[in-house]
Structure 1
């Protein structure tokens, strides 16, 4: 039997064809989920297929090694954490097949969002709708029997599960259509205990706690699918499932009602439960409303109900909604905030309102934050007001506050106490609080789990809920898993070999050995990565181990309000950063690889798991950090607003300061300087780049992909032409309409036409344009590769050229989004300098600047029609500036033009990252959605502000791609271009 993780990994690598993850930090990425718990696995296996998985299961059975199946790791109860082998099924088990009639077959790694996107083509959908639907996998949904806010009408996953294929603990298959001695034994057990099963079910109508035995025994024997749904991988590992689907809703209506108190909102339940077509009613308490800061909600509102109705048509749905609202208004005092409507824009606003209200809790930063450990309780709907009132009394007794999100129709209550788990006093409150609240729920014949799984959080109370029925659970577990290797300690337990609640201790004050010194403030902030398996039971007497002498490390970037460790600790592990498709952008590298290490969550974890900040410079950290391309989308789309890109810039800088640069990284980090040099010998360089032999040598010795089509260089750079045209001479005009143009590299040495178009359009609108001759590339490329010193040098050089202009009131415009982002954001992380702040305040991306003119009515109408179809891609760095993208609206002002906004994720180029040979294929995969949208026949040309995106778009589609300002300049009649 293997006794250490390295031995276990060596054994597994002998027969596993998929990846085996053995080093401690990489295993640590699987030690957490969206819960407050932590268990470091001995090994992680990413099996390639069923044969791989079966081999691992057989090995685990033979050597009595625990095994835990894992999907996206979005669980709130710790259900996918285990100390043995964690099986990551999210990467390779991703097939969707047999979409016929009302069923579809899926593998467990398929996400709900991916499935519904495929089903939408057939006008179908999978009904359960958990909040994590963008990231959660179908395997995880089956394991936890997920539902979502629409459970009132559509029920649970098990209600839509037609069949499963699963692997037993000994590696043999279980299938719905086959007989098995274990299923026969369970059938006998269930028949003998039919009355016991009936007698010990909660009155709460929506229960998913424990093994869900009602309905499992049929005339034909055990319904395997129903038995495994909600079993959390403790009975078998599901490898395939056949799901029942339903038609897309013909019409949807939503409304919003305001109430003076939470109790008043809860008392509106009976009227809404009786409404025709009602699907969901979410009650948001005042804390959620105040944090969301939504303008449409009156300040006096103590709670808001968001209702949703589905019907055959939109008109019918709206009629049903109006009837529901009138019924509530007749019985209760309330304010109609949003009348029942099916208008898409209003529906989007209401969805954004709910998401903002919930996500705002995670953006609280340091201090007390919402913790998920009593947030899955269900009670009979008629006792909701009593239950919530008594929970509030319990919280007050412990001097705690909490947020409440209530599914009014189903009696499901998500209570998130606000706790600072870095404080021992707050941690000590968790277990007693959970016991009181769970006991109250059971007193009211409720359930301790309705949606989010039992896992580690609720297993200690399962026996209290079911009493003598627990013995039946144990016999089922013994029948299916006699060695107790399948996800032990979940549903039945807790695992006696470890604490009931193995809490993560990162950031716990008084126990962390590392110290980050933040230069901006001079204050210290504790960093941590050590973990303590201290039980939260009241009688625990485990003391924290002595910690070593603190190690002080000076961050290489500026962290004004916190330290890197504090920033990383803001991540709650929710897994929302794992979308494989859809409108959100994070993370292009994860989308291409499916690797957990590429997720923003993992990148935050590598920092918060460190027991010594000095280890930030280690190889294991750098391996994860290099998966960040500094697109900044995770920073902006993350609920908690964790600045993961900056964390990874810090990690890259620390590594390169300690170890220097690899040859390939050195070349790519200096792309800006090398491009300037190439322009000086442009004819020779262009000839060499056209040679297959030269491209092969560049790939061999410098890592530059020979397949990447590079732009041609020009000797007549834009800055040289600007000098000859007198643009570099500072004008004497003192009027307010004056701008300074920061050209960056691509428009300077590869396509000066961008610069000429920008200058022409600005002058056309009455601006005096000055082009500072002494400017370099923005430094964004070396910064993205971790060369903080080179980026800082570029920042200082450019500030010298720009700061006096900023003082004189010049607006600094950039045609390159990365440059605008560098000047307005990243320089503030490089230099503690008032000049940097001044330039940042005066800098704007060009299309944003023109969009602001249009909003003020100051933008002239284009006069020349362009009879073409354009696909416009909004670059990540435009979004990252925090401004709404203006280009689609600007381009639509041109007569005759057809603009398709292909906002389908990242282009995949990610600046210089996509130039690398090792990244070429991944780059195309990361941009696959955008590329497919661009490839539509009606789109003749591409459009984007980003030069790197332009390279990708032209290479992947063969369609010429221009900067939006070039199309505008043509439409104004300012320049002539041959679009052929």
Structure 2
């Protein structure tokens, strides 16, 4: 239920599902809040602050929830500003500034700023979902911090709500303005008076104890050292601006409602060089040399992450630049407006590293699309670690330390000695250019002795950072993980000052308590701990790759890649893109899986909360490739729905869509009558009431005769002579057979034109609808029959080709996990010989005189194909046939099998289509040739844009009937 206080006008969601969804961020922590609020204005935040003071509740501000140190977990009220306070209020190209609300996503801002050739410089690995409010809270920096430094350097003004509910704007002040502020009889005045007094009394001690000023990324404790640099304490310093203190304060001092940011001109050119190294030490020594040449970025990626890219479908394609098996690489980018100068810099650096013996391989990359692919691989680093299973579940207690660049080689050696002492491995990656590496020792938090090891290592690493006068946090913040060790790094004299700052700003301790000062022990509230109960349930899928169902539900680490918006590209997660609700993201669903199954086991299959969260999952499988951890939510949904159905009846609608093959033969006997009836309003109303089929949809029409009827009755003289030893099996799915036999006919013509003898087995169901509906017992029966038939062909090396991508790829994907152990070898053999029509035809097509080489084909790739095999095959086949091919990055069409036909999904289905696909298609010329291999995609395109799309077989043969 929701709790609402009319007097304070605040709406706090207290239902269990919402609270569970906001119990985690991307850190190692899990803390169930009392409630969640989604304010729409500064006034609602003021109301929330008054409510918190009245009811002794805390408020933890949250954007995308990508924090790694537990800053956005809390036991009070979580305040999500991303849902509603996400507007760009103004961009001033002349002044080069932007006014934004805290929920604006960084990439969204840069898309708009880019229209004026401007950008907001800080570039974290999470820019497609992280929000400006969160970047301010953590003082985010990112890949290009050697060039753009931190968020703090680009923050001009902050509008905030203070802990008493007053609204205050913080900006640079002259000494006269500062004096006036100090005279105010308000919390604002008190803050100015007491902060000035604190700095004046302790300036020398602060500067002596804080991290070395040469370290760009220093974010330990409150930024008192930054205030020491300002007027009036430093006559030559910049104007006094408390916004710099709030930046990096992790939401513990004030709530941001609006920010004014500095924008920079965009450079027009960039060149990348990627030296490979036999050791991390060599890479660190090379970093010292590289920064002398003024690069825009120098990023380290080690062999653990590079190896993890091999198992990720999307990142595997981004390994094109790698040579051999380096221990680590540096990704070095030069930026400017003169390409020749940049290329010369890259060559000079590569030559210097070669002659010095640091690296003998350093590919130079100049094409923008390839440069983006390298950065995509780098940005996937954190999530890729989770793809390593339990070994990748590395806690983030020490992964944000920063030292001077010149100290990096020795610092890394000392860090390695700590690892060796504790017999621990470590992942090394991140921002070498500014002395920061994300060092993540491998710790198993479910073992008590490992918890003690983590605490001991945290103490020793903090001592090491202190010895180098480094920063315990470079950009991710102190949070739950590092706050207990701030005293070791800054010294005991600084802790009273930090506590004083908190007391000045937030005397009732309502803003994100326990972060920075007065923290809980770092081992409290861990997501995984010795008390965590791993799920133990019998499942229908074998979860062979993941090793168990428990491992599958634990894959997600909360990085939140699934929360990117549609305009960021890709497909994951279409329902979240449409609703922007956490429960509709892969992360939200994965968190519910883990929380509900831990300790409840089989009982969790009856969870209404999880059933509701899975309702809008389109089973598109984009998460299987785009999620760095390879979370396969489509498969998890199918497993859950099977368990759900074991206790709840399967609805008539689910049975209809999962077992349509039983009804089709009847309806197809009288196609004209069936088609007429399905268009009648009364019948549509009945279908909506009985089967849940939305009456706004037209069901696919039945053909006058089926494909199988045509194939069985083909005149002998209509069959060309083919090589009887050159055979191919063509799978005719029920959609092709009953609705679109012309596609099957076109495929036959094409295969026979390539001198293949085509075999059409009596198989029309592969099991895809049954799997999608969570009827895995039925799917297993289909699997048994299908394998029995197809194994005879596969054993003879006869290729098996399918026309419908989702059906065909089920054989290569789910079959290998749904089959019994004694069937696995057969299933693998069949999978190895099964191809989509596009894959098989790509190597067969020759230049066709029928096609106009100037004609362009726009391709909407099927989601399953895009996730599992990509779009290179369909592009290659059509290009070989003489067409110009444009693969549309338009995301999911929104139909997803039966999903878009269902009454409770129709609106979301159309919303997904409207995100990118429909607008893109409407912008095409009226005579544009559109290709969509998926049956559902073609029908969604027709319903959403009134355009006709064709199967590749029709385009390759120019048979469009």
TM-score (norm 2): 0.89
Residue in 2 that maps onto 1:314: 339
- Does structure 2 retain, via aligned residues, the 8 Å contact 1:98–1:104? yes
Change (3 A) 1:297 1:827: closer
Residues in 1 aligned to 2:421 and 2:631: alpha-carbon distance in whole angstroms: 33
SS in 2 for 1:376: coil
Q: In structure 2, what is the equivalent of residue 516 of structure 1? A: none
CA deviation string 1:219-266 (max 9, x = no partner): 798534323211111122222222222222211011022334322222
Structure 2 residue aligned with 1:783 = 771
Q: Is the 8 A contact 1:187 1:221 kept in 2?
A: no
Matched, 1:959 2:947: yes
**Contact 1:64/1:485 (8 A) holds in 2:** yes
Change (3 A) 1:676 1:64: farther
Q: Is 1:128 aligned with 2:150?
A: no
The residue that corresponds to 1:769 in the other structure is 758
Identify if the C-alpha distance between structure 1 residues 189 and 51 changes in structure 2 by more than 3 Å, giving closer, same or farther: closer
1:282-361 correspondence runs (5 A): 282-289=299-306, 291-292=308-309, 297=322, 299=324, 301-329=326-354, 332-351=356-375, 354-355=378-379, 360-361=384-385
Q: Give the conservation status (yes or no) of the 8 Å contact 2:211–2:470.
A: yes
Partner of 1:579: 564
Report what 1:501 is aligned to: 523
The answer on 1:22 being equivalent to 2:15 is: yes
Q: 1:173 maps to what in 2?
A: 167
The CA distance in 2 between the partners of 1:822 and 1:650, in whole Å, is 15
Matched position secondary structure for 1:377: coil
Do structure 1's residue 628 and structure 2's residue 617 form an aligned pair?
yes
Judged with a 3 Å threshold, the aligned counterparts in structure 2 of structure 1 residues 394 and 932 are, in CA distance, closer, same or farther, namely: same
**Is 1:805 equivalent to 2:793 in the alignment?**
yes
Using the TM superposition, name which of 739-748 and 446-455 deviates more. 739-748
Deviation at 1:78, TM superposition (A): 0.6
**Structure 1 stretches lacking a partner, 5+ long:** 1-5, 514-525, 528-551
- Pairwise CA distance, 1:155: 1.0
Match of 1:567?
552
Superposed displacement of residue 336, structure 1: 4.6
Structure 1 residues 285 and 838, CA gap change in structure 2 (3 angstroms): closer
Distance of 2:661 and 2:475 partners within structure 1? 51
Matches within 5 A, 1:309-458: 309-329=334-354, 332-351=356-375, 354-355=378-379, 360-367=384-391, 369-458=393-482
Q: Structure 1's 917 and 406: CA in aligned 2 closer, same or farther, altered over 3 A?
A: closer
Q: CA deviation at 1:12?
A: 5.8
Matches within 5 A, 1:70-81: 70-81=62-73
Gap change, CA 1:289 and 1:221, over 3 Å in 2: closer
CA offset digits 1:254-304 (Å, max 9, x no partner): 10223343222222334322214x111123344445555657555574432
1:137 aligns with 2:146: no
Q: Decide which of 269, 274, 281 is 2:298's aligned counterpart.
A: 281
1:936 maps to: 923
SS of equivalent to 2:437:
strand
**Does residue 1:245 correspond to 2:263, yes or no?**
yes
Alpha-carbon shift at residue 144 of structure 1 (Å): 0.6
2:266 is the counterpart of 1:272 = no
* 1:549 matched residue in structure 2: none
TM-aligned CA deviation for residue 699 of structure 1 = 3.0
- Paired with 1:287 and 1:709, the residues of 2 have a C-alpha distance of 51
Structure 2 unmatched ranges of 5 or more: 172-176, 233-237, 311-318
Q: How big is each residue's C-alpha offset from its partner over 1:131-171, in whole Å with a ceiling of 9 and x where there is no partner?
A: 12222122211111100121111011121122232223343
Q: Tell me the equivalent position of 1:556.
A: 540
CA contact (8 A) 1:251 1:342 kept: no
Could you tell me how far apart the structure 2 residues matched to 1:685 and 1:164 are? 64
Residues 613 and 335 of structure 1, relative CA distance in 2, 3 Å threshold: same
Tell whether the 8 Å contact from 1:603 to 1:648 is kept in structure 2 after alignment. no
Is 1:644 the counterpart of 2:633? The answer is yes
**TM-score if structure 1 supplies the norm length?**
0.87
Partner in structure 2 of residue 106 of structure 1: 100
Q: SS at the partner of 1:274? A: helix
Q: Name the counterpart of 1:792.
A: 780
**Does 1:201 pair with 2:210?**
yes
Identify which range, 864-873 or 910-919, moves more after superposition: 864-873
For residues 488-514 of structure 1, give each alpha carbon's deviation from its aligned partner in whole angstroms, at most 9, with x where no partner exists. 10111114xxx44324354x56x455x
Task: Point out the more displaced range, 190-199 or 349-358.
Answer: 349-358
Partner deviation per Cα, 1:539-571 (whole Å, 9 max, x = no partner): xxxxxxxxxxxxx64213233462211211232
Quote the residue 1:756 is aligned against.
745
CA contact (8 A) 1:161 1:241 kept: yes
**Matching residue of 1:213:** 224
Give the distance between the partners of 1:360 and 1:433, measured in 2 at CA: 24
Asked if the contact 1:422–1:505 (Cα under 8 Å) also holds between the matched residues in 2, the reply is no
Aligned match of 1:3: none
Of 384-393 and 239-248, the range deviating more from structure 2: 239-248
Deviation for aligned residue 1:743: 1.6
2:833 to 839, 842, 845: 842
> Any conservation in 1 of the 2:10–2:47 contact (CA below 8 Å)?
no
CA shift digits 1:639-687 (9 cap, x unpaired): 2223332222111111111112345444444455555554333323322
Closer, same or farther: CA 338–484 of 1 in aligned 2, 3 Å: same
Pairs within 5 Å for 1:596-745: 596-609=582-595, 610=597, 611-614=599-602, 615-671=604-660, 673-675=662-664, 677-725=666-714, 735-745=724-734
Provide the residue aligned with 2:157 in structure 1: 163
Alpha-carbon distance in structure 2 between the residues aligned to 1:13 and 1:683? 60
Name the CA distance, whole Å, in 2 between partners of 1:945 and 1:637: 21
Residue 910 of structure 1 is matched in structure 2 by 896
- 1:627 offset after TM fit, Å? 3.1
Paired residues of 1:126 and 1:246 also in contact (CA < 8 A): yes
Query: What is the CA-CA distance between 1:573 and the residue it aligns to?
Result: 1.9
Aligned-partner Cα distance in 2 for 1:19–1:745: 49
* Aligned-partner SS, 2:3: helix
Which of 43, 52, 65 pairs up with 1:60? 52
The structure-2 alpha-carbon separation of the partners of 1:176 and 1:726, relative to structure 1 and needing over 3 Å to count, comes to farther
- Confirm whether residue 870 of structure 1 aligns to residue 857 of structure 2: yes
Answering whether residue 142 of structure 2 is matched by residue 148 of structure 1, we say: yes
Q: CA deviation at 1:386?
A: 1.6
Mean Cα deviation higher: 657-666 or 748-757: 657-666
Q: Which moved more, 1:149-158 or 1:552-561?
A: 552-561
**Which piece of structure 1 moves more, 873-882 or 803-812?**
803-812
Q: Could you say which residue in structure 2 is the equivalent of 1:231?
A: 249
> Would the aligned equivalents of 1:47 and 1:92 in 2 still touch at CA under 8 Å?
yes
State the distance in 2 between where 1:13 and 1:641 align.
44
CA contact (8 A) 2:10 2:48 kept: no
Q: What secondary structure, in the 3-state scheme, does the structure 1 residue paired with 2:274 have?
A: strand
Distance in 1 of aligned mates of 2:496 and 2:10: 40
Change (3 A) 1:19 1:912: farther
Distance 1:676 1:238 in 2: 62
* Residue-pair matches, total: 915
In the alignment, which residue of structure 1 is the partner of 2:174? none
Q: Distance in 1 between matches of 2:660 and 2:12?
A: 33
1:738 deviates by 1.3
Root-mean-square deviation (Å)? 3.0
Change (3 A) 1:918 1:248: farther
- Corresponding residue SS for 1:305: strand
